[in-house]
Amino acid sequence: MSKKKKSSGFDKQGTPERKQSPWALPMIGLVALAFIVGIIFLKQQGEGTTSEAGSKATPASSTKAQTIEAKPNEAALPPTAIVPPGVATTMEVNKAVMVTAELDFGPRIPSIAQAVTEIERRYQPADGTGRTFAILDAYGEPTPSGKLHISMHVSSEKPGQGSLVFRRTGEVLWNSKITPVPGATPAKNLIIYIGDDAGAGWVVDGSGGVSSVLDSKLRDKPVKVRDFWPDGAEREVTLVYSACGCPVKVMARRVGERTTRTKEMPVIFPDDPTAVQTIARLMGW
């Protein structure tokens, strides 16, 4: 009977033999599995971070897109661009611009009301009839150099061309092409806001057909103007009578059964004398 030789632990060349541990393969498998799981985890974390960043950016962008609506007792005031003299522009109907200029009248400087009459309105309506714009208000003062600084709030009403020309010199103060807007209308309604002592404006309800603003009611307050406006108090009165819906603001004081303006500026609605007469009758000016 032959006897099995015990392994000497060396190969034929005398090199020690390497014995493989029975746990080697399972350990390699576990390491590989852990590596794969780690990659998947990191990938998911990266996707989660990107998704979270996107979800945080969404509210910020939606906040910027939100609009603020005017309260019922506040006028929605559209922006007004300032146009330098002589610059040709293009604007849409029912918009507004502020035209400013320094006019040379010589040694006798007139009032703003007189100066407005020295400015020619030139209309070229696309349909051949009517006017294309209106001056809503005007204000200003003499300059140290002896000229009259004037600012005029101009509202576009119809498509066509419009310009303002200083009659004494022929200088073109404003020149604009007025383009149409689908659905736009030049219809105008007189709206009056009376300010309170906190600065908020309240709409006067003009449906009663009264002859004095003091006998009118406020649209959003169950009181008459005479109970809302104390005798002797100065209030800001906002007048809206334009295609653009732009406000014209004046300061007035109640004096008994009428009101009186406390500042002569601005000159209001110089192109709509009928509206001025109606306002003066209602306010007692």
Whether the CB-CB separation of 270 and 277 falls below 8 Å is answered with no
Residue 241, domain extent: 191-283
Q: What is the pLDDT of residue 167?
A: 96
**What confidence tier does 150 reach under pLDDT thresholds 50, 70, 90?**
very high
28 lies in some domain:
no
236-272 confidence digits (pLDDT tens): 999 999 999 999 999 999 999 999 999 999 999 999 9
Mean pLDDT of the chain: 79
Whether the CB-CB separation of 110 and 159 falls below 8 Å is answered with no
10 lies in some domain:
no
2 lies in some domain:
no
Same domain for 175 and 196? Answer: no
Of the residues 128, 154, 179, the one at which a domain ends? 179
Structural domain tally of the chain? 2
93-122 confidence digits (pLDDT tens): 999 999 999 999 999 999 999 999 999 999
Taking CA atoms, 232 is separated from 168, 226, 258, 262, in Å, by: 43, 11, 10, 11
62 lies in some domain:
no
Across the chain, the runs of DSSP E, i.e. the strands, are: 81-83, 88-92, 96-103, 119-125, 133-142, 148-156, 160-166, 171-179, 191-195, 201-205, 217-218, 221-224, 234-240, 247-255, 258-261, 267-268
Same domain for 118 and 197? Answer: no
Write down the number of H helices and E strands in the chain. 4, 16
- ∠ CA 49-50-55, nearest 5°, is 95
145 lies in some domain:
yes
**What confidence tier does 33 reach under pLDDT thresholds 50, 70, 90?**
low
The enclosing domain of 151 has a CATH number of: 2.60.40
Whether the CB-CB separation of 222 and 205 falls below 8 Å is answered with no
Secondary structure (3-state) at 257: coil
Of the residues 179, 199, 214, the one at which a domain ends? 179
Same domain for 234 and 144? Answer: no
Whether the CB-CB separation of 153 and 138 falls below 8 Å is answered with yes
Mean pLDDT of the region 132-159: 97
7 lies in some domain:
no
Residue 10 has pLDDT above 50, yes or no: no
Q: What is the pLDDT of residue 53?
A: 34
Give the amino acid at 44: Q
258 lies in some domain:
yes
Residue 196 has pLDDT above 60, yes or no: yes
Same domain for 165 and 216? Answer: no
CA 243 – CA 134 distance, rounded (Å): 9
Decide which of 56 and 198 is more confident. Answer: 198
Same domain for 232 and 164? Answer: no
Of the residues 116, 149, 179, the one at which a domain ends? 179
Same domain for 197 and 278? Answer: yes
Residue 87 has pLDDT above 90, yes or no: no
Q: What is the pLDDT of residue 86?
A: 64
Taking CA atoms, 283 is separated from 102, 138, 194, 277, in Å, by: 32, 20, 11, 10
Whether the CB-CB separation of 135 and 152 falls below 8 Å is answered with yes
Name the strands in the sheet holding 201-205, side by side, starting at the edge strand that comes first in the sequence. Answer: 221-224, 217-218, 201-205, 191-195, 234-240, 247-255, 258-261
Q: Any idea which residue has 């390497």 for tokens?
A: 18
